[in-house]
A = this chain, B = another copy of it.
């Protein structure tokens, strides 16, 4: 069994690993958990002792198969709870993260399986992120950033890269939600902004926004 702190480190390493081949650096872990590198080193040793990570001094860290499965299970719980909060308790997608950070640590296999069933076995959370199954497997969809679409291309908004409250509330304000169809009408060269069509309306989108919205063609 793992402590709350150990689980948070495992999850951080899991997220950092998806998106880089090499071992995850002590600094990267510390930054992601808003703690100090020395604390990360201490915890890495404990995790290595418990055989959820491979660790050689100065070489960074990688999850073992057991570690991957354990981490995926925490992510699974986090995302299922997010779905529950949005679908059943009327939370908006920018309010769920903090609460899910707590709920993901509740230990009860039956609870999470029944929750999964209650929600109809959802495949994605409110931010479009995939929900791992019981074995930790995720079926990845081929989504690309809106910024990478070319003129006149079209697709459905299926996820966000940045899931901060600020960004999510901004999207709400602009009427951009998951499931909506977006067409790129223009790409402005001098500021990299996009003119898009959504809900039969024209909307100008900055490069920053376009770099944080996932589209499925």
Contact = CB atoms under 8 A, between A and B. Distances in A.
A89 B118 contact: yes
A16 interface: no
B102 A106 contact: yes
Interface residues of A, number: 18
- Most-contacted residue by chain B among A98, A111, A118 (CB, 10 A): A111
A115 interface: yes
B102 A114 contact: no
A133 to B, nearest CB: 19
B111 A107 contact: no
Interface in A89-142: 89-91, 95, 98-99, 102-103, 106-108, 110-111, 114-115, 118
20 contacts: A85-B111, A88-B118, A89-B110, A89-B111, A89-B114, A89-B115, A89-B118, A90-B114, A91-B110, A91-B114, A95-B110, A98-B108, A99-B106, A99-B108, A99-B111, A102-B106, A102-B107, A102-B108, A103-B106, A106-B106
Nearest to A98: B108
A98 B111 CA distance: 11
A83 to B, nearest CB: 14
A195 B107 CA distance: 42
A131 to B, nearest CB: 17
A106 B114 CA distance: 19
Contacts of A114: 89-91
A95 B114 CA distance: 13
A91 B89 CA distance: 20
Given A89-B118, A91-B110, A99-B108, 4 more contacts: A88-B118, A91-B114, A99-B106, A102-B106
Interface in A161-184: none
A108 to B, nearest CB: 5
A15 to B, nearest CB: 22
Nearest to A99: B108
A85 B113 CA distance: 12
